[in-house]
Amino acid sequence: MWAVILKSRRMTCSFVSQSLTLTYNTNTTTCYTTLLFNNSRPPRSLHNSGSLPGPISWPAAIRAFCSKLRRVNEKVVPSLQRSMQNPESISYLTQREAAEIDETLMGPLGFSVEQLMELAGLSVATSIAEVYRPSEHNRVLAICGPGNNGGDGLVAARHLYHFGYKPFVCYPKRTPKLLYNGLVTQLESLSVPFLSVEDIPVNLSKDFDIVVDAIFGFSFHGAPRPPFDDLIQRLVSLHSYNQSRQNSPVIVSVDIPSGWHVEEGDIGGQGIKPDMLVSLTAPKLCAKSFHGPHHFLGGRFVPPAVADNYKLHLPSYPGTSMCVRIGKPPQVDISALREDYISPELLEEQVETDPIDQFRKWFDDAVTAGLREPNAMALSTTGKDGKPSSRIVLLKGVDKDGFVWYTNYGSRKGRDLSENPHASILFYWDGLNRQVRVEGSVQKVSDEESEQYFHSRPQGSQIGAIVSKQSTLIPGRHFLHQQYKELEEKFSDGSVIPKPKHWGGYRLKPELFEFWQGQKSRLHDRLQYSPREMNGKRVWEISRLAP
């Protein structure tokens, strides 16, 4: 990816100053900014005018550059975000533009090759993990070329190892630089196998689930030479295996598919047909010819100033992700979606005799596993009309008396429960292949208990409970915001917010439990706890249900 190593400070400075000259029209600003990036002193006439403060440093140059573009960017970004809703508006770079941006990042903006390579390789690894689970696509072969694209592949292999994959690396033309030697050492310390070209089978389908094409980047020119010409042909042949419906590993190309023209794409139509393309910085023009199911953008290192200077229209990265899908996800045959669960067996002799204790044990496992909102549960109710209704609520307490949640008593679930005080709740912990289903009768918790919980909530949540007449029609979101703002001002003095009478808790008293553990071939474990009387006491009987 990072094809351009800075040849001199002057080259970078000249490029940036030229770009800035095109961006700003004020003569004094243009002159001053150009001088900043040339790291030279301004003419004496400017000093005498009092317009400039004296000798100029590189940090000052960077601040001036970013400050100027940031002010422009504040006006431009909202319109760019609106245009991002259309995938066709995403920017595609020419080879020259890609090289210039690299040069800018590694010049006045202070990025090193090592930093960019680390971010690029991590982006590739996270893109792979986004689509291909290690339980299904575990064996990864990273074919790395001698340049920076190969370095991205080495970094990706290291991250994939830590993500739970089993990577192999083919690195036939090693670059004798400290950076690359370090990456090799890191992989060797993890016992990642390095394969020679001779070690790689002609038919890659038998030994690998994913092949990472990290051979050539956008700076490559001419025809591939040995041994990469043969390796590329092996990747090309995988498309033939796919067409003949044989099992074939998926191909993930880094930045551009190796052998493609960076702007014209797969000239002749006989090149690699990757299943996934991970564009870096911004897609290159050849990516318009990519027709595989998965196109991701990775990197997340382009500063707003650079994006604005090049008028780059790029999608926003979700949350903390290092990758973002470009365009629409592939059309999926819903009937073909299936997961073959791999879990430890759930055996009668291993579970707790009390289902509440067993629930606590599984709930603690979900918390320890770091699953998001392990207390989320689907609550199903029916009113007197017999029509079921389900929604997700949050568990706020569990003890020997049952499961507690809080809500608006006037909501649909509240109305249902007033007509039919029975419900079921369902917990689903995807990361552990587990479900817990509980059925029982429902009653309101005491006013004291509701009051205590209400005042333990953040002030914003307390106000929100008052504002929202849950399940009723409202004229728009502005209506909520206006009422919220009024109450926020009313209680800004820190006074106690009274709990509304229409808000409080419910407790489901369990009458039936089912613990479900996903297993291979749909032979799931289902253990049911049902109550019965024994010697005048209520005990729980454990039965196994067919999956």
| Residue 403 annotated as lining a ligand binding site | no
Tell me what pLDDT residue 240 has.
Answer: 59
Q: pLDDT tens-digit profile of 112-149?
A: 999 999 999 999 999 999 999 998 899 999 999 999 99
> Given this model, what pLDDT does residue 246 score?
57
Task: Indicate the DSSP class of residue 284.
Answer: B
Backbone angles phi, psi at 249, to 5 degrees: -70, 150
Domains of the chain by range and CATH?
95-331 (3.40.50.10260), 355-470+478-544 (2.30.110.10)
151 marked as binding residue: yes
Q: Is the pLDDT of residue 366 over 80?
A: yes
* pLDDT value at 39 more than 80: no
pLDDT at 20 over 50: no
Residues in the chain: 547
15 carries a ligand binding annotation: no
* DSSP type of residue 336: G
Please give the Cα distance from 529 to 515 (Å, whole number): 8
Q: Name the band, by pLDDT with cuts 50, 70 and 90, for residue 464.
A: very high
State yes or no: 365 annotated in a binding site. no
Average pLDDT score over the chain: 84
410 is in an annotated binding site: no
- The confidence score (pLDDT) of residue 363 equals 98
Query: Is residue 222 part of an annotated ligand binding site?
Result: yes
Question: For residue 305, is pLDDT > 60?
Answer: yes
Q: Where are the beta strands (DSSP E) in 385-476?
A: 388-394, 397-399, 402-408, 422-429, 434-444
Is pLDDT above 60 for 15?
A: no
Residue 535 known to bind ligand: no
Amino acid at 545: L
pLDDT at residue 430 greater than cutoff 90:
yes
Q: 234-243, 263-272, 445-454: which has the minimum mean pLDDT? A: 234-243
What is the residue whose two structure tokens read 């749909």?
522
Distance CA 255, CA 241 (A): 24
Name the band, by pLDDT with cuts 50, 70 and 90, for residue 88.
Answer: low
Q: Is 223 annotated as a binding residue?
A: yes
Q: Are strands 210-214 and 250-254 parallel, antiparallel or unpaired?
A: parallel
Tally the C-alpha atoms within 13 A of residue 234's C-alpha that lie toward its C-beta: 23
Q: Report, as an integer, the average pLDDT of 369-380.
A: 96
Span 264-270, average pLDDT? 87
Residues 6+ apart with CB under 8 A from 463: 484, 487, 488, 491, 497
| pLDDT at position 27 over 60 | no
pLDDT in tens, 398-409: 999 999 999 999
Distance CA 62, CA 350 (A): 64
pLDDT of residue 53 exceeding 50? no
CB 401 within 8 A of CB 507: yes
Q: pLDDT at residue 292 above 60? A: yes
Residues 158-213 pLDDT 10s: 999 999 999 999 999 999 999 999 999 999 999 999 999 999 988 788 899 999 99
Residue partners of 193: CB distance under 8 A and separation at least 6:
168, 169
Based on DSSP, count helices (H) and strands (E) in the chain, helices before strands: 15, 16
Amino acid found at 505: G
Q: From the CB of residue 75, how many other CB atoms can be counted at a distance below 10 Å?
A: 9
pLDDT at res. 128: 97
Q: 152 a known binding residue? A: yes
Kindly state the percentage of the chain with pLDDT values over 70: 82
Residue with tokens 């007197």: 384
For residues 124 and 390, give the distance between their C-alpha atoms in angstroms, rounded to a whole number.
39
Q: Which of 10, 63, 96, 522 is catalytic?
A: 522
Catalytic: 70? no
**Residue 424 burial (CB < 10 Å; 0-12/13-18/19+)?**
buried
218 labeled part of a ligand binding site: yes
- Model confidence over 523-538: pLDDT tens digits? 999 999 999 998 888 8
| 110 carries a ligand binding annotation | no
Predicted pLDDT of residue 475? 94
Q: Is 219 annotated as a binding residue?
A: yes
149 is in an annotated binding site: yes
Q: How far is CA 30 from CA 34, 66, 74, 418, 518, in A?
A: 6, 14, 20, 72, 65
Instruction: Assign 45 a pLDDT band (cuts: 50, 70, 90).
Output: very low
Going by pLDDT thresholds of 50, 70 and 90, the confidence category of residue 37 is very low
The pairing of strands 503-517 and 250-254 is: unpaired
Strands, E, within 157-215: which ranges?
166-170, 210-214
pLDDT, tens digit, for every residue of 497-518?
Answer: 999 999 999 999 999 999 999 9
Residue type, 345: E
